[in-house]
Amino acid sequence: MKLKLRSTAILALAFVAIGSLPEDLQAQRKKNETTTEQTAPETKPEKKEKGYSDLVKGLTEDEGIFKLYQKDDKVMFEIPKSELGKDMLWVTRVVAVPENFGGFIGSGWKMSEQIVKWEKLNENILLKSISFNNVADTTDAISKSVADNNLSPIIGSFKIEGQPDGSEAYLIDVSKFFTQDTKAISAISNGMRTQFQVRRLDNEKSYLSSVKSFPINVEVRQVMTYDAGRPPSNSELGLMTVEVSQSMIKLPENKMMPRLADERVGWFTQSNINYSSLKLKGDQQTFLKRWRLEPKDPAAYARGELVEPIKPIIYYLDPATPERFVKWFKLGIEDWQVAFEAAGFKNAIIAKEPPSKEEDPDWSPEDARYSTVRYVASMTRNAVGPSTADPRTGEIIESDIVWFHNHLRSYRNWYMIQTGAANPLARSLDVPEDEIGEMMRAVIAHEIGHALGLPHNMKASSAYPVEKLRDPEFTQEYGVAPTIMDYARVNYIAQPGDGVTRFIRKIGPYDKYSINWGYRVIPSANTPQAESSTLDKWIMEKANDRMYRFGSSNGSNPEAQTEDLGDNAVMASMYGMENLKKVVPNLLTWTTTAGEDYTETNEIYGEIIGQWRRFTGHVTTVIGGITEDLKSADQSGSVFNVVPETYQKEAMAWMQKYAFSTPDWLLDEELLRRLENYGAVNRISGTQSSFLNSVLDPTRAQRLIEAEAFKGRNTYTIYQLFGDMRKGLFSELTSGNEIDTYRRNLQRSFVEKLESLMTTDSNSFQARQVNVAQSDIRPVVKSELKALQQEIKSNKGKFTDRASSIHLEDLLDRIAEILDPK
């Protein structure tokens, strides 16, 4: 305690001593303290703020919508204040990919698109991804709630590094955004990351290959190398490199007026929920996706004259397009000019070859300002026609058609298989260039149609009577379907001797109608709603003409199927099958070359079986089929109608003749012994079993049950379905003919299918679609098993060959076990 007092006393004396310093010494002390505080920053020069010129020193400058500064992987954006808050379209594409990267994913493939905005918050610039799924008028009070319930994700945040003298702009460093693995703009989807076992981005093997700014867009190219456990190629390296294009393009501030969609005219659409609607709900509004076409001379256009658009649709060909195909690609693109003429525009769509380096050193097919037809060296057998649209209005901003080189193989094969019987030009692997060119032209035109906004119209081909497709004059003028947007590729109906010479599809009446409906300017209308009466009038003018109907394939409508032709699937498939039977005996002659093996023959033989499947599928859809005619509420008649009973009976008779009888036409021993040592029995049995399963699918049976439930309706019934199948598949019980290997397998498959319908678990996928146990299906199946059991017992004595006798005894045992499992 004494020590504490003593310390206190000493401390007090110290304060007294300090306080008693002479005034000049105290003043000097204060001066020293002040000087120390003021000069402290000068002792740390590294904190001195750099001038603007220092920030961009050594970087290459590029003028455009944003001024860019770049060297190697260092990239800085100078964003004008005037561009903050503006809607911009961000498109991520792959420029170059490794082998086996993905079936459809090749050079030019769009991986993602989003709308973004750059915004300032304090001392940072934020990059936000914007959604227009929910909207409201900004003057409406509910717009605040819409904003609060649709908060935009921030995909990037950048510190403001500086501002240029005398300019309202902000300098930010975006290097890490582009050089790191930024998920928001990645070309590697989550599925790919799992598939290829991507672990991380290898920064040492990744870099920026190009950074450019243009008047309305910014283009960045990245070479990204990933550490992957299971890369698509070169697996021993454990690496995967992808070159990626990032395109940011400013969206129009002068928005295009949207056009309201109508399901009766097929169109790709853009939808949102409008909370400012006067309807007592959040109202979904759906707009067409279409290019902005405006007449140069509105007065002449209004008088009905053909007028050029202010800005035509231009497609550039990929520099990688083989020279011999350039002509056909151009023709395919410009085939749509005739359709736009129906809408009042001339020269509305133009094909161009890309400029040379001397003409435009900055031109790039990845540049979002340019639409291109990309040519991809890939084994993928397909082509696609995507487009990118402004989600605010549906205006298509750009589009890139992708043609995969090996699609040539598909058309060469289909041409031989489907038309070879009637078309001498198709009887060789070396299809004449004009013929293959016409096919490529049709494919490009089809994909351009998608890029113009048109979806597949699978109903269109059912407008043409089957017999008309055997008429040389009709097919020359109208092709094979009213639209090139149907999957009606070549004429498989024309028979030898008909004289048909045009087997390939072309632009048709529906194409002109739909382009007019979607693109014709209606001068008197200033809002989407004001156009509605005129658009509806155009539909009603064509409502009773089958050529102008639209429909998508849903699996139950025989009038809207893929790869079919004509208004009667049974008759069309009969003609198709008869042609296939003429092709098979000629395969060795048409597909072989001296000194080569049978690889090509084997491939085409396999595709003939596939064509048999297609024809059978077309006919199967008739059974239990429901047609669909899209109508508005003011139009009379039903939208959905049951297929007539007689048509369904014809379909079942076709199935017994062409699907379930033994296909001797496919079992050419001279041919098969050159292709395989064995396998025909399993192949045919598996194919016919799949036909059987499709016909007896519970959803088909349920449609028949429901159709019969409408009293007074004459319709094909579930009892007829199962009874006709049993009688047809076991016709030998009546005729006494020997049951061959293929029929024995098919009959076993039938009994196994009936067993599965008797024992389907209520939790199975099949039962979730149709509750078999609670429907009429199971009692009908039980009845059929009993009838079959009795027929076999009554007729098995007719068969003297061992195979048939053993087979029938086995079936009796199987049926007995199904009916009484105990």
The position carrying tokens 């049974």 is 570
What are 41-86's pLDDT values in tens digits?
Answer: 554 444 445 788 888 889 999 999 999 999 999 999 999 999 999 9
What are 314-370's pLDDT values in tens digits?
Answer: 999 999 899 999 999 999 999 999 999 999 999 999 999 999 989 998 888 767 788
Residue 17: what pLDDT? 40
With 90 as the cut, is the pLDDT of residue 401 above it?
no
Give the residue-averaged pLDDT of 30-40: 48
Give the residue-averaged pLDDT of 501-506: 95
Quick check: 273 and 134 in contact, CB under 8 A?
yes
Quick check: 671 and 752 in contact, CB under 8 A?
no
Give the residue-averaged pLDDT of 529-540: 96
Rounded to the nearest integer, the mean pLDDT of the chain is 89
Structure tokens at 799: 């068969």
The C-alpha torsion from 177 through 178 and 179 to 182, rounded to 10°, is 60
Sequence-distant (6+) residues with CB within 8 A of 92 are 110, 111, 112, 113, 185, 186, 187, 244, 245, 246, 247
Burial of 225 (0-12, 13-18, 19+ CB in 10 A): middle
Distance CA 429, CA 788 (A): 48
Share of the chain above pLDDT 70, in %: 92
Quick check: 383 and 444 in contact, CB under 8 A?
yes
Whose CA is closest to 586, among 432, 430, 414, 416?
Answer: 416
Confidence band for 754, pLDDT divided at 50, 70 and 90: very high
Residue 768: what pLDDT? 63
- The most distant pair of C-alpha atoms in the chain lies apart, rounded to whole Å, by 140
Give the residue-averaged pLDDT of 692-719: 91
Residue 12: what pLDDT? 41
> Lowest mean pLDDT: which of 163-177, 553-567, 648-662, 678-692?
163-177
Residue 19: what pLDDT? 42
| Cα 174 off chain centre by | 33
Residue 711: what pLDDT? 67
Please indicate whether residue 816 or residue 382 has the higher confidence score (pLDDT).
816
Determine which helix (DSSP H) or strand (DSSP E) holds 316, and give its type and residue range: strand 313-317
Confidence band for 761, pLDDT divided at 50, 70 and 90: low
What are 207-247's pLDDT values in tens digits?
Answer: 999 999 988 899 999 999 999 998 988 888 999 999 999 99
Residue 712: what pLDDT? 62
Confidence band for 103, pLDDT divided at 50, 70 and 90: low
Model confidence, pTM = 0.86
Residue 147: what pLDDT? 81
> Lowest mean pLDDT: which of 479-493, 524-538, 755-769?
755-769
